[in-house]
């Protein structure tokens, strides 16, 4: 049975820290302390199959106008079976219910997946600014 929880207390922190720090190209080496802090300060989405965590994503959001979608990860043996789409269906349903104006994300190679949910390259890149701290850890 597959279940999705947004309870921060439900997140399997051992699973999440291991997967992000060793197998997520954008978070390699991320410390356990930073994983715990980002879970505590985001809206986490955890997918469980028969009680074991198999996928994760999180929104950094005001639940009103804006959300940043990050750390979308499905366990390797579970990929290609619709788990990622199940997770995104739930996240997009929440976004609809809040009446968000914008959701943003960054991805190295999953553009086609996000395109099916309506994401596009920024339509007005001249408007978008960001600041990076590349020397800070993942
Ligand atoms: C905002 C971010 O966090 S971006 C980072 C995204 N995460 C990663 O790259 C981590 C490694 N990859 C994964 O964890 C998974 O492969 C995910 C999350 C990208 C997809 O999860 P899955 O459970 O495998 O996806 P699911 O089975 O629901 O189907 C994904 C669909 O998107 C498509 N797709 C497009 N690009 C990709 C991609 N880079 N990786 C996987 N699927 C992709 C698939 O072909 C599939 O389409 P289909 O149903 O028409 O065949």
Q: Which CATH superfamily is domain 2-121 in?
A: Gcn5-related N-acetyltransferase (GNAT) (3.40.630.30)
Q: What is the pLDDT of residue 38?
A: 98
CB of 82 within 6 A of ligand 1: the answer is yes
Task: Summarize pLDDT for 24-43 with one digit per residue, the tens.
Answer: 999 999 999 999 999 999 99
Q: What is the pLDDT of residue 8?
A: 98
> What whole-number distance in Å separates Cα of residue 6 and Cα of residue 65?
19
Task: Summarize pLDDT for 5-21 with one digit per residue, the tens.
Answer: 999 999 999 999 999 99
Closest C-alpha to ligand 1, atom 45: 113
Measured from the Cα of 26, ligand 1's closest atom is 5
Task: Summarize pLDDT for 44-95 with one digit per residue, the tens.
Answer: 999 999 999 999 999 999 999 999 999 999 999 999 999 999 999 999 999 9
Closest C-alpha to ligand 1, atom 26: 82
Query: What are the boundaries of each domain within the chain?
Result: 2-121
For a mutational test of ligand 1's pocket, the pick from 16, 22, 79, i.e. the residue with the most ligand atoms closer than 8 A to its C-beta, is 79
- In which residue are the tokens 């991320």 written? 30
Q: What is the pLDDT of residue 37?
A: 98
| Beta bridge partner(s), residue 74 | 55
Residues 6+ apart with CB under 8 A from 14: none
Task: Summarize pLDDT for 83-135 with one digit per residue, the tens.
Answer: 999 999 999 999 999 999 999 999 999 999 999 999 999 999 999 999 999 99
């Amino acid at each position: 049975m597959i279940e999705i929880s947004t309870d921060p207390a439900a997140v399997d922190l051992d699973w999440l820290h291991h997967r992000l720090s060793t197998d997520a190209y954008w978070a390699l080496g991320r410390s356990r302390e930073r994983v715990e802090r980002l879970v505590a300060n985001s809206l986490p989405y955890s997918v469980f199959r028969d009680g074991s965590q198999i996928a994760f994503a999180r929104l950094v959001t005001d639940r009103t106008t804006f959300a940043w979608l990050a750390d979308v990860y499905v366990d390797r043996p579970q990929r290609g079976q619709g788990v990622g789409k199940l997770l995104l269906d739930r996240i997009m349903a929440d976004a609809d219910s809040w009446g968000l104006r914008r959701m943003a994300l960054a991805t190295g190679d999953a553009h086609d997946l996000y395109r099916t949910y309506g994401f596009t390259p920024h339509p007005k890149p001249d408007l978008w600014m960001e600041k990076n701290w590349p020397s800070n850890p993942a």
